Structure 1
C-alpha cells in the first residue's frame, strides 16, 4: 500500500499514484484522475465524495477522452491516511450521461470526525482527499475554521489564493460563486483559456475541466469538504431567472447545459441533480449547534434587475413585489430562521447585502444587481431574522472582487440611527480583475459609514467560529498574474456573541 504523509497531502501537491501491481486483466490506461478529487455537503453521518474521470481533460468535445460506456469506480473511506482502517468501500458507476462524474454518499459515519478517501479505476489510484463529518446538532464545544472565496477567472491570474487557503487547514470551505467564467480567451490573459464562450454542454464541461486541472484548486478541494453555490458566470453574466443579459432565444438550452455541467463537476448530493432548467441549490448545513449555514441561490429565482441593471437611482428597486430569492426560497429561509437554535446563523450567498451608495446628495445611486436593487426583499429577510430571534446573523458575500466588512442595519432609510442587527463579510476575488491594488474608495467609505473595510487586493477570508465570537481575517495576495505569492492578513475583525457589530482587532 502506498504511504501518503500528511505533508504530501496538504502541502506537497495532489498528483495521483498509480498502483504498482494490480493483477492480471487490468489494462494500462491513461490516468483518469486529472481533475483531482473533492468532497462536500457534510452532515453528522455522511459526506459527498466526488471525482470525474478525464484522461484527456481538454478534448474539444468535453468528454475528457472517456469511452461512451459506464466505467466502474472503486472508492474507499478510511479513518487514517494510510488506509489501514477502512470504514466504507464500494463501487460507483461513472456514466457518460453525467460526464463520467461520480457522487458517492457514504452513510453511517461518525459525527465530528476526520476521514480520508480515494478512488481506483483500472489500476490507477486517485489523489487522496481529506474530509470530515459535522458535529452532532447539540454540540457547541467544537470550534469551526471556515474559509470562503469567490470569483476565479482562469485567464486573469494564478489560483495561488486557493493554495494559501488550503494551507490554513480549514474544516470546511464555502465557495460563493463565479467558480468559473463563461468568456472566451482575451489578449490580456496570462493563462490561455481553452474553447469559445461557453454555450453548450460540451463547452461548459470543457471549461470546468480546464479549471479542475489547476493544481492549486485541486489542493484546496482535497483538504476539506466544500459547500458551493453559483453566482452568474457559471452560466452567463448577470442572468436573472429566465432573462439573459442580452436577448438570446437559446438561453433556456444554455442554462440547462450550464446546470448539468455544474452538477457534474461539483461535490453535490445526488438530490441536486438538475431537471432541465431547474436545479435546487439552496440548502442548509449545520456545524453542530454552533453554526447554521443557509446556502442561497440569488440568481435562479430573482426578478430581472430594475431600471436596466447597472448603478442607478431607481424607484422601481423599492417595489414591494420584487424578490431576489423568489417566494419559495424566501419562505424556506424565514422558516429556517424560526427553527434555528444555532449560536450563529450564516447566509452563504452571492451579491452585496448591505447598502452601498456611491453618490453624494439626497438621492442614492446603488447597484441594481445586488440586494440594493431588491429593497423589499432585503427588508423581509433582515426583519425575518430579527423577528425570529436569531442570536447572531452573519452574511457572507462574493461577486464584487473586493474585500468588505460591514454592519447590517435594520432600517436603511435612516442607517445612522438604526440598530445594527448583523454583519456582512465580503471576500475579494481569487483572480478576477487581475492583481488588484491598494486604492481605497474613500468616497464610498464616507457615504457608507457602516462599511468598515474596503480593499481591492485579491484573496479570501478565513473565519474562526466559537461559542463566544467569530473572528474574520481578510487575507490578501500582492499579485496573482504571476504564481506563488504569499498571503498576509490585511485586517481582522471580531463579532461577539449577542453583540452585533464589527470590532477591529
Structure 2
C-alpha cells in the first residue's frame, strides 16, 4: 500500500449508526479446506468499484499460485469461504468496524469474490480487507459516492487505459496511488491478448502465445494483477471499469473478429472466445452482479452519479457496433452512411435520453475510442481512423445533434485507446469550424502501451496542424488527473519520463481548463 495521506487517516463522522462487528485477525486454527499451506492466497490484491451513495463492490480473487499454467492459480475444485470486513479506520480498531460478513469463492468464477455492499454512509472513506483460512489480505481504501442530490464542492478522479505488460513498467500507477483520489476510471485494454514478448525482465506474457480460452484469459489477468503498482492503484480508490478491444481481440466488432473478415472463419467460434474473455473480465474486476456475463453477452454500459456535480455515462463501444469500413478509400465518405451504429439502438437511446434529462452540472462520457475528427494526413489529403467514432461519423452525429438541439451543457468525453494525449473542442460539424462547440474531449495516453513515447511525434504534429479544434497534444505515457468543481473542470496530463525503466519520476505536462456554461476549452497551461 502507498503511504496514506492525512486526509485518508481522518476518521469518518456519523458512523456510529452502523452495526459493529468483530475484528478479523490472523487465525491460528487449521486452514481446513483451503488448498494452500503457508502461501499467500491474496497475490492479486484487492479492489473496489462502482461506488454508490450507500456502498461499493469489494473484490479479490484467491490465487496462491497466480502463474499456474492451467489458469486456476493454484486453487482446487471446492468453494472456499472468504470473510470480509469494512471499517472507518485503516487499523480496524474494534469500534471502527461497521460491516462484516463472508462470501463463497467458487471455482466456477475462478475463486473470485464480489461483495456488493449497502448500508454505508454517502461520500465517506472506508477501509476493507478479507481473510481466507489463516491468511489476511492487504488493506484497501474505498469511498462511497455522494447522495444523489448532494451539492458536491469537488471531485478528484483519474482516468487511464492501455496497460501492455511487455511494453513497459506500470510506474504511472504507483504515482496515481499516491494522488489522494476519490475515483479511478479505466477505459479499456486492461490486458493484451497477443503473444507479448519483451526484452524487459519479467514482462513477457507468461503463456507465450495469443490467448483464446478461459484458462488462457484467467492466466493473463493473473499475471497483470501481480504487478505491484497496479495492485497499489486498485487498493487506493474505487474504480469504474469498461473494456475496449484487447480484453478480447484487437479491433473486434460485435460478433466479428479481425480474422473473421476472411470467408473461411466462423463467427460462432469467435463468440466462444468472446464468452471466455468476458467471463475472465468479470472474474477480475470489481463489477456488480448485473454485469455477470451470460455466454458472450455482458451488460457493461451503466450510469454512476456523483451528487449534482457529475454523472458518468459508462459506454460499451465494442459489443454492439457495426463492422469497420475496411478498405474504404480515404477520406472515406462512407463513414457518414446513415444507419451505421457504434452503440446499438438500445444503448444509443439510453445515452441520449440520459444526457437530455441529466440534472448534473457535468455530463461525462466514459468512452473507449476517439470521437473527434483527427485528420492524420498532412496537406490537402485527408485520412481518418475507421476503428474510432470517425469511422462511424453518422452515429456520432446523432448524439452530437442531441447535445446541440436540446442545449445539453457541460458535456465532457474522457477517452483512451490511442496511446497519446489530446484535448479537443467537439464541433457540431468538423467540416465547418464555425459550427457550434457541443462539448470537450480529453483523450488520455496509455500507461505503457506504445513504449516510452515522446513529448511530440509525427502524428501529434500532424494532428495539431490539420485539426484546428485540437488545443493540446502529446505522446508521452502516464495518466490524467481531473479536479472538478461546480464552476470549473481541470485535467492534469501527468507523464512519466520512461516506461522501460522502473521508478521513473512523474511530472505535469499540461493543465487544461473548462468553465461550466462555456462550451469548449477555456485554457491550456503547458510545461
Instruction: Please give the range of the TM-score, normalised by the shorter of the 2 chains.
Output: over 0.9
**Secondary structure of the residue that 2:259 maps to in structure 1?**
coil
Q: Distance in 2 between matches of 1:5 and 1:394?
A: 32
Give 2:31's match in structure 1, choosing from 26, 39, 44. Answer: 26
Q: Is 2:356 aligned against 1:338?
A: yes
The answer as to whether partners of 1:4 and 1:82 remain within 8 angstroms in 2 is no
Q: Distance in 1 between matches of 2:441 and 2:280?
A: 30
**Matched residue, 2:159:** 148
Deviation at 1:295, TM superposition (A): 0.4
Q: Is 2:201 aligned against 1:192?
A: no
- Residue correspondence of structure 1 range 35-46 to structure 2 within 5 A: 35-46=44-55
Q: RMSD of the alignment, in Å?
A: 2.0
Q: Distance in 2 between matches of 1:4 and 1:361?
A: 48
**Matched residue, 1:433:** 450
Name the CA shift for 1:252/1:9 in 2 (closer, same or farther; >3 Å): farther
**Secondary structure of the residue that 1:406 maps to in structure 2?**
strand
Paired residues, what number?
Answer: 494
Q: Is 2:83 aligned against 1:74?
A: yes
Name the CA shift for 1:26/1:186 in 2 (closer, same or farther; >3 Å): closer
Deviation at 1:475, TM superposition (A): 0.6
The answer as to whether partners of 2:2 and 2:232 remain within 8 angstroms in 1 is no
Deviation at 1:46, TM superposition (A): 1.4
Deviation at 1:239, TM superposition (A): 0.2
**Matched residue, 1:245:** 258
Q: Which runs of 5+ in 2 are unaligned?
A: 9-23
**Matched residue, 2:323:** 304
Q: Is 2:419 aligned against 1:408?
A: no
Which string of whole-angstrom CA distances, capped at 9 and with x for unpartnered residues, describes residues 40-85 of structure 1?
A: 0000011000000000000001000001100000000111111121
**Matched residue, 1:13:** none
Give 1:220's match in structure 2, choosing from 219, 233, 248. Answer: 233
Deviation at 1:360, TM superposition (A): 4.7
Give 1:133's match in structure 2, choosing from 144, 153, 172. Answer: 144
**Secondary structure of the residue that 2:82 maps to in structure 1?**
strand
**Secondary structure of the residue that 2:297 maps to in structure 1?**
coil
The answer as to whether partners of 1:312 and 1:367 remain within 8 angstroms in 2 is no
Q: Is 2:57 aligned against 1:48?
A: yes
Name the CA shift for 1:37/1:305 in 2 (closer, same or farther; >3 Å): same
Q: Is 2:367 aligned against 1:355?
A: no
Deviation at 1:438, TM superposition (A): 2.4
**Matched residue, 2:397:** 379
Q: Is 2:410 aligned against 1:398?
A: no
Deviation at 1:405, TM superposition (A): 0.7
Q: Distance in 1 between matches of 2:451 and 2:472?
A: 20
Give 1:211's match in structure 2, choosing from 224, 229, 251. Answer: 224
Q: Which runs of 5+ in 1 are unaligned?
A: 11-18
Name the CA shift for 1:21/1:405 in 2 (closer, same or farther; >3 Å): closer
**Matched residue, 1:6:** 4
Q: Distance in 2 between matches of 1:143 and 1:9?
A: 14
**Matched residue, 1:315:** 333
**Matched residue, 2:294:** 275
**Secondary structure of the residue that 1:42 maps to in structure 2?**
strand
Deviation at 1:376, TM superposition (A): 1.0
